[in-house]
Amino acid sequence: MVTMRDVAKRADVSIATVSFTVNNSKSVSPATRARVEQAMEELGFRRNMVARALASRRTRVIALLYPALQQRLSGTAVKFFTSAAKTAGDLGYTLVLWPVSNDAEQVTQLTSGGLVDGVLLMQVQLDDPRVDRLVETETPFAMIGRTRDPSGLTFVDIDSENTTVAALDYLTGLGHRRIALLTSDGDSAVPHFGPTERTRSTYRAEMDRRGLDAVLLECGETPQAGRLAADELCERAPDTTAVMVLNENAAFGLLNGLRHLGISVPGDMSILSVGSSPEVAAIADPALTLMVSPADELGRMGVEALVDRLEGREERGNHTLVMCAFHEGSSTAPPRG
């Protein structure tokens, strides 16, 4: 292994000078810099990140904690991750995806081992044990999503409230009056998931404000459960003409279930999927109209916020909300008649 010592010897300077040149941390004369750079080139020097981390007490690695309990990484999550990784790279950091069970103990392990400077938390629950642990151990972190009371914490999140309003505006704009909402139930991969709860309450309030009747359904996050939800919908509210779905997998089941019940989409029933991605929505037949989760932006902003904290630019919590964007598909249409 080629070390700074070797480079220093060959360039006939002190090891400190080599450090200053590679890090630009102190001015070095052009002549010396050239000698050092040539020596590095000739020897094929690559600085040892571990040693650097130990000496500087910063690893320049940030971890994206993802809950290992989750069986499927949605297209949204992957986009999010990819965008976060790119942003981190641009800012001089390396982002790694760290699978962690929801149990807080593991969080401490990784964190206090000093292998990462900071943590990005995704799939945050309203009451998240991991968050408590991170606060306790004073690990710098930012959340994608937010806890029930996120004051003082840094987060970026989907603007569920405005997204829900926009979704309802769209559906009522088409002429729908009987609009149901299907979400995940308590057994979901992420219990007490903020967007679910916020969407439900906004939906309730908005329907009320518009003088419409709220019909709330919930089911597990599987196509099978979505199928059963179709049955339930027809039984409980047979005159429904549109469904908003915040449950990617169930959306497929709902669609299939309706077809089996002889209800055509979008002819008899419109379906609007919320918080999904176009790639996944395209699997359905007809392709789902959807409100696209702003995964790229969330990833980028999450990393930016975290790095700001790591570099001391942002002391107090930074809050950002981003709306979902509308994406036209073939699963929505004006109601019959």
Partner DNA sequence: CTCGGTCAGTAAAGCGGTTAACTTTTCTGT
Partner DNA sequence: ACAGAAAAGTTAACCGCTTTACTGACCGAG
CB of residue 283 vs DNA: minimum separation in angstroms?
47
Answer with the entry of DNA, a second copy, none that 216 interacts with (C-beta below 5 to 8 A by kind): none
Indicate which of DNA, a second copy, none lies near residue 214 (CB less than 5 to 8 Å, by partner kind).
Answer: none
Choosing from 9, 10, 19, 120, the residue that interacts with DNA (CB under 7 A) is 19
SS3 8: helix
Q: Which does 95 bind (CB under 5 to 8 A by kind): a second copy, DNA, none?
A: a second copy
Q: Which does 264 bind (CB under 5 to 8 A by kind): DNA, a second copy, none?
A: none
Tokens 């003088």 belong to which residue? 211
- Residue 56 interacts with DNA (CB under 7 A): yes or no: yes
Closest CA to 226 of 261, 190, 194: 261
Query: Which spans of this chain sit near a second copy (rule: CB under 8 A)?
Result: 46-51, 53-54, 59, 61, 63, 68, 70-73, 75, 77-79, 81-82, 85-86, 94-99, 108-110, 112-115, 222-224, 249, 252, 256, 259, 279-280, 282-283, 285, 287
Q: How far apart are CA 82 and CA 75, in angstroms?
A: 11
For residue 27, state whether it binds DNA (rule: CB under 7 A).
Answer: yes
Residue 111 binds to DNA (criterion: CB under 7 A): no
List C-alpha distances in Å: 164 to 159, 195, 240, 278, 290. 9, 10, 18, 18, 12
The entry of a second copy, DNA, none near residue 61 (CB within 5 to 8 angstroms by kind) is a second copy
Q: Do 276 and 288 contact (CB within 8 A), yes or no?
A: yes
DSSP characters over 119-188 = EEE-S-BSS-HHHHHHHHTT--EEEES--SS-TTS-EEEE-HHHHHHHHHHHHHHHT---EEEEEE-TTS
48 versus 101: smaller Cβ distance to DNA: 48
Write down the H helix ranges in 210-288.
223-236, 248-260, 278-281
51 or 68, CB closer to DNA? 51
Give 269's contacts (C-beta < 8 A, 6+ positions apart): 240, 241, 242, 243, 258, 263
Q: Which one, 213 or 279, has the nearer CB to a second copy?
A: 279
Binding at 282: pick from a second copy, DNA, none (beta carbon under 5-8 Å per type): a second copy
| Contacting positions for DNA (CB under 7 A) | 1-5, 12-17, 19-20, 22-23, 25-29, 31-33, 45-48, 51-52, 54-57
